[in-house]
Amino acid sequence: MSRRWSRDPGTLSAAFASRPVRTTMDVQAQRPPLLELNTTLIKSSSRLPLSGSRLKRGPDQMEDALEPAKKRTRGVGAVAKVDTFRPRGPLSTVSQTQGHTAAPKGPKKTGPRGCSAVGTVLRNQKPAPTAPAQKPGTSAAPVVVGKKPGKRPAWDLKGQLCDLNEELKRYREKTQTLDRENQGLREQLRELEECLGTKERRLQELQEEQLQLQEERSTLSTQLEERERKLQASEAALSSSQAEVLCLQEKAAAQATLLAEQGDRLYGLQMERRRLHNQLQELKGNIRVFCRVRPVLAGESTPSPGFLVFPPGPAGPSDPPTRLSVSRSDDRRSTLTGAPAPTTRHDFCFDRVFPPGSKQEEVFEEISMLVQSALDGYPVCIFAYGQTGSGKTFTMEGGPRGNPQLEGLIPRAMRHLFSVAQEMGGQGWTYSFVASYVEIYNETVRDLLATGTRKGQGGECEIRRAGPGSEELTVTNARYVPVSCEKEVEALLHLAHQNRAVARTAQNERSSRSHSVFQLQISGEHAARGLHCGAPLNLVDLAGSERLDPGLALGPGERDRLRETQAINSSLSTLGLVIMALSNKESHVPYRNSKLTYLLQNSLGGSAKMLMFVNISPLEENVSESLNSLRFASKVNQCVIGTAQANKK
């Protein structure tokens, strides 16, 4: 049977519902009439020789009665549909069965109409040709002409019965086949119903899903609308912001133009400031001398009143003093005459005089202008000159550590320098600083910043030109340390102090007989205007200026001391001679006569600014050395070195 089913389960069900499915029970229900016929025939065959009223109906009648059986035999294998059964006695039952099996495929005819159609077919059927006679009593099959089975003679009731039994058997088999088919179809129906159920559930799920999706879609569309509204608002805000930005950009451009103009103006003003500043420095003199008298220390004898006098400045007591008078009593004359010792007054005038009570801060204020000059590109040299114990180191480096008020010129100058450099950074200047610190003792140079194995000893150093044709001088074997803050400088000063202390134990009071030179190489750059400037700032703590008392007898150990002193005096006098040669504009300046002047030659020329502190002891017993120092300083003070020029490129 074809298993091609419609995909529509509903149609399938309907087809099955309309299809006449006959069960064994149904067939059984039809069976009794057939059996009844069988029985009747058997009964009749027992009376075969007798001609009964039924048999008298003639062979044609019998054939008619048996015709459906023959048709049934021919139609085996075809399934006929009969919707209703209407038994009308044994024979009509047969013809119905015949109709049931051999009904042609075609439009379904239901009810009595279908039956009558079958009946009509039966009535119209012509009788088959009569088969040859057969021996009575045989049950062999009738002679077959062609494919058709032969027609049994009317008397062969047994044969007919046999045929009928055969036919019955086939019907039973057919019924069984149909039962099986029916069973299979029922299973298929069940499967299809299950499948349908699954599909229905799936459909329901899909419908639910669809509902959910619809809800989601509506939520999303609401959100989308909301977002679109926000986007529109943002776009509006953006366009207004863009307009604002444009406006601000225009303003910024205008401001930038203004700023550039202001910058040019500021630069002009700075240049003017620099020019005026240096003009002022020149008016004050490129060589200036300050005198500083240290206070009487604890345990020292107080000098007699009037020994040192500080007359007020020309503008009155508030005017800073510039003069100093030293009264010296002539002891020899008083001894000879016996009269009170006459005193001789020695007056000195300097750019500034600092009496014993002057603070470190006051002293620095006066020289801070020179630091500005160094940043502007002018070489600067600051010296401390005086006998040992007059306060040179106190002035340059300061008093005991930890007291900021006692800080000397070097730390103060560095702090000022770094802060001014930072301020000038705002005006486009970038500065870098490199520090070195050397000691010149007995015409030998030693690095005070030496570390590690060289610490305290500081290998032999030589002063050399930085390169062939270079004006710049450098000390070989000495450390040149880049510094950018006062703390770094402080560390270097501390290291130098330690190095000096080590040397002091090795050689007696060496520090007082050596020059200490702290050099800071300043380099400035104004990238925007392509300007460069560079100059050294030198802070020099000179060796003690005292001379050996010629009256003293020289022991064996004193000879070295004499040589040292001569070297010191030689270098200090060379310094004086160099200054004077510069002042007198002599063609030959004896820089090379001492290591000190050779090292400082670039800071002592016509373009340099120089400041000399002459440190004086307040004690009467030091009067001779004080007068020597004051005389030396006065000579320097009288010098005027040509117009200073900044080292600008």
- Report the interface residues with ligand ADP, using CB under 6 A: 294-295, 297, 386, 388-394, 399, 512, 615
Partner whose footprint covers residue 391, from Mg ion, ligand ADP, none (CB < 5 to 8 Å by kind): ligand ADP
Residue 469 Cβ, how far from Mg ion at the closest point, in Å?
37
Choose between 119 and 320: whose C-beta lies nearer to ligand ADP. Answer: 320
Residue 261 Cβ, how far from Mg ion at the closest point, in Å?
53
Choose between 175 and 387: whose C-beta lies nearer to Mg ion. Answer: 387
Residue 453 Cβ, how far from ligand ADP at the closest point, in Å?
29
Residue 387 burial class via C-beta count within 10 angstroms: exposed 0-12, middle 13-18, buried 19 and up: buried
Choose between 247 and 297: whose C-beta lies nearer to ligand ADP. Answer: 297
Choose between 101 and 395: whose C-beta lies nearer to ligand ADP. Answer: 395
Angle at CA of residue 226, ends 221 and 231, nearest 5°: 120
Angle at CA of residue 635, ends 632 and 641, nearest 5°: 130
Residue 360 Cβ, how far from ligand ADP at the closest point, in Å?
8
- Residue of this chain nearest to ligand ADP (CB atom): 391
E strand or H helix at 48: none
- Tell me the C-alpha distance between 612 and 413, whole Å: 15
**Could you write out the three-class secondary structure of 140-168?**
CCCCCECCECCCCCCCCHHHHHHHHHHHH
Residue 466 Cβ, how far from Mg ion at the closest point, in Å?
30
Choose between 98 and 442: whose C-beta lies nearer to ligand ADP. Answer: 442
Choose between 74 and 547: whose C-beta lies nearer to Mg ion. Answer: 547
Choose between 34 and 614: whose C-beta lies nearer to ligand ADP. Answer: 614
Residues at the contact surface with Mg ion, assessed by CB under 5 A: 392-393
Partner whose footprint covers residue 389, from Mg ion, ligand ADP, none (CB < 5 to 8 Å by kind): ligand ADP
Choose between 281 and 388: whose C-beta lies nearer to ligand ADP. Answer: 388
- Tell me the C-alpha distance between 279 and 274, whole Å: 8
SS3 126: coil
- Tell me the C-alpha distance between 107 and 520, whole Å: 127
Count of beta carbons in the 10 Å neighbourhood of residue 113? 11
Partner whose footprint covers residue 386, from Mg ion, ligand ADP, none (CB < 5 to 8 Å by kind): ligand ADP
Partner whose footprint covers residue 499, from Mg ion, ligand ADP, none (CB < 5 to 8 Å by kind): none
Residue 605 Cβ, how far from Mg ion at the closest point, in Å?
27
- Residue of this chain nearest to Mg ion (CB atom): 393
- Read off the amino acid at residue 308: L
Residue 387 Cβ, how far from Mg ion at the closest point, in Å?
10
Residue 512 Cβ, how far from ligand ADP at the closest point, in Å?
5
CB 102, CB 133: distance < 8 Å? no
CB 40, CB 90: distance < 8 Å? yes
- Tell me the C-alpha distance between 334 and 343, whole Å: 10
Partner whose footprint covers residue 321, from ligand ADP, Mg ion, none (CB < 5 to 8 Å by kind): none
Tokens of 202: 């799936």
**What are the φ/ψ torsions at residue 353 (nearest 5 degrees)?**
-120, 130
Tokens of 53: 């009223």
Residue 477 Cβ, how far from ligand ADP at the closest point, in Å?
26
Choose between 57 and 494: whose C-beta lies nearer to ligand ADP. Answer: 494
Beta bridge partners of 17: none
Partner whose footprint covers residue 510, from Mg ion, ligand ADP, none (CB < 5 to 8 Å by kind): none
Partner whose footprint covers residue 534, from Mg ion, ligand ADP, none (CB < 5 to 8 Å by kind): none
- Tell me the C-alpha distance between 614 and 632, whole Å: 9
CB 549, CB 387: distance < 8 Å? no
CB 425, CB 431: distance < 8 Å? yes
